[in-house]
Amino acid sequence: MSDTKVTWLTQDAYDRLKHELDEMIENRPVIAARINDSREEGDLKENGGYHAAREEQGQAEARIRHLQELLRNAKVGEAPDDDGTAGPGKVLTVKYDGDDEEEKFLLATREEGAEGALDVYSPESPLGKALLGAKEGESREYELPNGKTMKVTLVKAVPYSES
């Protein structure tokens, strides 16, 4: 999984993810029962219900492991400093070289993102890595998927607030 990377989460996001984890763990016997019921239907090679239930179980177990890892390494409720520096848990306003429009997004994990209110960019993404530690007004460059380089300027960096 990860090498114990700390993930900044608001209390609300932590509670939401913990609730999801608890529900998934409670649902394990339901999926197991579905697998057993399907297994009793006969030939496993041609048993679509059995294979679908096994696939669902695999996906559920992967999500459970991901949530457990995320919550184990979460730093809860400690909002980052309002110091104008780009970092996880900050809403960044940036301007790309050659573009007049500004873009605003949350630098955080996907799980932390507010329900569609802001785009969320990971600190591990090329743009996120380039901006980490940048001060307002500072320009950085990062590599695009096509191999070209893009210059981006940090206009503003403020702590994320759910209110």
> Closest Cα partner for 90 from 137, 156, 153, 160?
160
Compute the mean pLDDT over every residue in the chain, rounded to the nearest whole number.
83
Matching residue, tokens 């696939």: 55
pTM: 0.56
CA end-to-end distance (rounded Å), the chain: 32
> Measured between alpha carbons, how far is 77 from 60 in angstroms, rounded to an integer?
27
47-61, 81-95, 102-116, 123-137: segment of lowest average pLDDT: 102-116
The topology (CATH level 3) of 7-76 is Helix Hairpins (1.10.287)
24-33, 46-55, 128-137: segment of lowest average pLDDT: 46-55
Percent of the chain with pLDDT over 70: 85
The topology (CATH level 3) of 90-159 is Chitinase A; domain 3 (3.10.50)
Which tokens hold the place of 59? 């996906």
Sorting pLDDT into bands at 50, 70 and 90, what band is 142? very high
> Measured between alpha carbons, how far is 111 from 69 in angstroms, rounded to an integer?
12
3-7, 19-23, 118-122: segment of lowest average pLDDT: 3-7
> Measured between alpha carbons, how far is 120 from 97 in angstroms, rounded to an integer?
21
Predicted local confidence at residue 162, as pLDDT? 58
Q: Where in the chain is the domain with CATH 3.10.50.30?
A: 90-159
